[in-house]
Structure 1
Amino acid sequence: MSERLLAKYSGSVPRYTSYPTAPHFHTGVNCDIYSQWLSELGAGNSLSLYLHIPYCDRLCWFCACHTKQILRYEPITTYLVALRREIEAVGKRIGKGARVTAIHFGGGSPTMLKPEDMVDLMDCLKASFDIADDAEISVEMDPNDLDEPRYDALAAIGLTRASLGVQDFDPTVQKAINRIQTFEQTKSVVDAVRARGVGSVNCDVLYGLPYQTLEGVGRTVSDILSLSPDRIALFGYAHVPWMKKHQTMIPETALPDVTERFHQSTFASRMLLDAGYEQIGIDHFAKPTDSMAIAARAGRLRRNFQGYTTDSADALIGLGASSISQLPNGYVQNMPATGEYQRMVEGDGLAAVRGIELSEDDRMRAYVIERLMCDFGFDFMPLLARFPAGAHDLITEARAFARQNPDDICRVGNTSFTITPEGRPFARTIAAVFDRYLETGAGRHSIAV
């Protein structure tokens, strides 16, 4: 990859886990509108639930999540009272017949919850929603939180997928990002959940961290491969200190430049491919037998706020402070501040503070951007069938961009638009071509490579 192409196409663009992206949400979408949208869900609709636990017992400097460090458990106890109230309120507003097919516990650190609180929270979900017997239940895990009673509680709530953040095993890198986690700790979690019947394990690895080297990234990936996870996410560190002040603790002079980031990414990717994993989109890898690899091969891969997913639910319901819901009508975000979130749900049980209602143009561009991020291209006939009113103009945009681009990062034919292998590292940049909101000036983003 030439330095010229890296410089030209690695600018700051969204990650496109939604379209329109979160910086374009507005306060015109409130609790009343959210309540109405929820009431329109019902028989025949499938639901996915995301529960946000916005607390950690340590704050990792690299993290860009909505979370805060606490040293006492009492704030969690208080928060869970509000979370259960929201669960009940949302469940009552959704029409009968909607069925939950997936539940994801994220954070923060959901494994900070006491075992009895994990079980109680799942009991509350079961009382408020119709949960399918084969629903996927995934939990983000911090090995530093876990013990035998918590493992037993995770098994009791029906855990099917364990997600472990690793980042990097190099002690120098771990110290720089305030994330001390040994390989032995990580292995113990993988062994413990597998011993309890959990059939799928995901590990997250980061490149672009302070003091990372190619050799260090290689050692971390080699260690991860020895655990034989079903899925591996290879994320580029997003340095956004203007949004997450604790990232100022990371020395910027220790961060690799865009060329080094690219080399780290391609080096790690090659190791994973050589080990037999299939690449999924821009930053995921999966065993060929994994459901995500199967969905990708079949053109059924999806992308939402959790990244790449096989989740095909009609609506994603976000529960907890800062959570975002994705409904047929549009997006809704809860109050991010935990104290204010708790005060809001004491009222009518909802805490929506902003969002956006989707226009037909939004839906069309969201479809195209998702296919670019998942399949590295889109076919014209399905687009025309879904959006007959606007598809011709968008296809004209695609043709114009491909024909005016001298770098062969994408191509256009009679029936499709395709990102070339050389252009795949810049999929986010190419997707941004179809983003009508990007030039409005709202929001800053991480670099694309």
Structure 2
Amino acid sequence: MNAHVSPMTATPPPLAEVARRMVPRYTSYPTAPHFSPAVTPSIHAGWLEQVAKRGEAVSLYLHIPFCRSICAYCGCTTKASLRDAPIRAYAAALHREIALVAAHVGRVRVSHLHWGGGTPNILPPDCMAALVDDLASRFSFQLDMEHAVELDPRHVTPDGARQLAALGVNRASLGIQTLDPVVQEAIGRIQPFDVVAASFLALREAGINAVNADLMYGLPHQTLPMIKDTAERMLTLRPDRIAIFGYAHVPWMKPNQKLIDDAALPSSEARLEQASEARAVFEAAGYIEIGIDHFAAPDDPLALARQAGQLRRNFQGYTNDAATTLIGIGASSISRTPQGFAQNAPDTLGWQRAIEAGMLPIVRGKAFEGEDLMRADIIESLLCDFAVDLAAVASRHDTTPEALADAVERLQPLIAAGFVAADGDRIAILRHRHEIARVVASEFDTYLGRGGRHSVAV
């Protein structure tokens, strides 16, 4: 693999054809469809005990699988609850799981704490405060710990924002998706711009100055002018980070998405145009491009990590989190340790039963084996930096780049199209980086095609 690869060995594919390929998002590798029951509670307990021995800081993720209503586009593990009683019962079980985890990992240092969902701010304030107190008593929060929470702007109030700030929350991500009323009606998430603006104001006045915005393209009835209008109006609120994800239409996995009319969805070509339009608006406003779907203010830690070559990717997307261990707490949460992935029971009742029996609620996972870690590094580099030195990565994993020659061969059509360059052992994505990075990464995925369906690349 030391010779230059000729760019004329295959027929170039159209960009739209490449963008229609169904590939994973690669927030993990191996990806979740390849987890199995071979990873048991006792195996994960052993992994956590090894984490304790390493003495390194870890990240914590708490999953809150409740919303007041379910949006039609949603692909998260969550369910609707109009009452607080099930949410309080869930919080009580979280305390028991926290104790189980702490029993194995000890008073480990925590560099990142992230609340996801669902709608984390659906937790009654006293429940969330008690959970933070419990975590702080069992683990050692670093002074510079990032404490982030995902929020529904429809449920952000000045009092709620002050309560979050009092708990040490210093970053909030607001799920906005779109500001267009036609699209909001189609996805079942009505939130006028004034509501979104009020949530930004409440958070910042409470002292939570780092506020992110999550948007989507490819939604039903969404058009190019709608995307441009949403992007431009978001800029008036000056979010610190902006993520714009392609809507993943997977009704075979998420029954609520059957409420969306397939005929109302933009075409592959329209999705490409929408993503490009939003990108142009954000970059023109001075935001720094982060990977395939994130943007950050120039002084944001994510932008600084990118510039320093320290950008990472995990289940929360792009991050500056350098921890090698992420411990997931709550139903469906996934943990990553240096030994492998372990996932909690996705159903709340099954998760609670395991905890009540005094067991870690693990139902499946994947122990790293063979070339898993090497290929994970390659995929992460391609998605973070749009380039990878195969020889350097192979050397770190005590092998040679020849083991990757088949993947480079499969990239020939993209090389022929001038989208990708393979010079010696270096692979670089030259054109349409955002559109094809996941496709390029997928050529290094030895599990792809062995089960599981995915969304389109763009």
Q: Shorter-chain-normalised TM-score: which range?
A: over 0.9
Q: What are the within-5 Å matches in structure 2 for residues 20-419 of structure 1?
A: 20-42=30-52, 43-96=54-107, 98-394=108-404, 396-403=405-412, 405-419=415-429
Alpha-carbon distance, 1:150 to partner: 1.8
Give, as a single letter, the amino acid of the residue that structure 2 aligns with 1:201: V
Alpha-carbon distance, 1:433 to partner: 0.4
**Partners in 1 of 2:301 and 2:14 — Cα distance?**
37
Alpha-carbon distance, 1:390 to partner: 4.6
Alpha-carbon distance, 1:400 to partner: 2.8
Percent of matched pairs sharing the same residue: 45
Q: Is the 8 A contact 1:114 1:150 kept in 2?
A: no
Q: Is the 8 A contact 1:28 1:354 kept in 2?
A: yes
Alpha-carbon distance, 1:63 to partner: 0.7
Answering whether residue 435 of structure 2 is matched by residue 437 of structure 1, we say no
Alpha-carbon distance, 1:182 to partner: 1.3
Answering whether residue 422 of structure 2 is matched by residue 447 of structure 1, we say no
Q: Is the 8 A contact 2:61 2:116 kept in 1?
A: yes
Number of positions where the alignment pairs a residue of Structure 1 with one of Structure 2: 445
Alpha-carbon distance, 1:349 to partner: 4.2
Change (3 A) 1:220 1:9: closer
Please state whether the residue corresponding to 1:100 is helix, strand or coil: strand
TM-score, with length taken from structure 2:
0.94
Query: C-alpha deviations, 1:19-78, integer Å up to 9, x for none?
Result: 000000000111111111111112531100000000000111101000000111100011
| Unaligned stretches of 5+ residues in structure 1 | none
Q: Is the 8 A contact 2:292 2:433 kept in 1?
A: no
**Partners in 2 of 1:196 and 1:223 — Cα distance?**
23
Give, as a single letter, the amino acid of the residue that structure 1 aligns with 2:340: G
Please state whether the residue corresponding to 1:267 is helix, strand or coil: helix
Larger deviation: 148-157 or 334-343?
148-157
**Partners in 2 of 1:239 and 1:9 — Cα distance?**
14
Alpha-carbon distance, 1:398 to partner: 4.9
**Partners in 1 of 2:433 and 2:86 — Cα distance?**
47
Give, as a single letter, the amino acid of the residue that structure 1 aligns with 2:63: H
User: RMSD of the TM alignment (CA)?
Assistant: 1.5
Q: Is the 8 A contact 2:68 2:80 kept in 1?
A: yes
Q: Is the 8 A contact 2:293 2:434 kept in 1?
A: no
- Equivalent position of 2:27 in the other structure: 17
Alpha-carbon distance, 1:402 to partner: 4.5
**Partners in 1 of 2:219 and 2:103 — Cα distance?**
44
**Partners in 2 of 1:403 and 1:68 — Cα distance?**
44
Q: Is the 8 A contact 2:36 2:366 kept in 1?
A: yes
Change (3 A) 1:390 1:347: farther
- Equivalent position of 2:16 in the other structure: 6
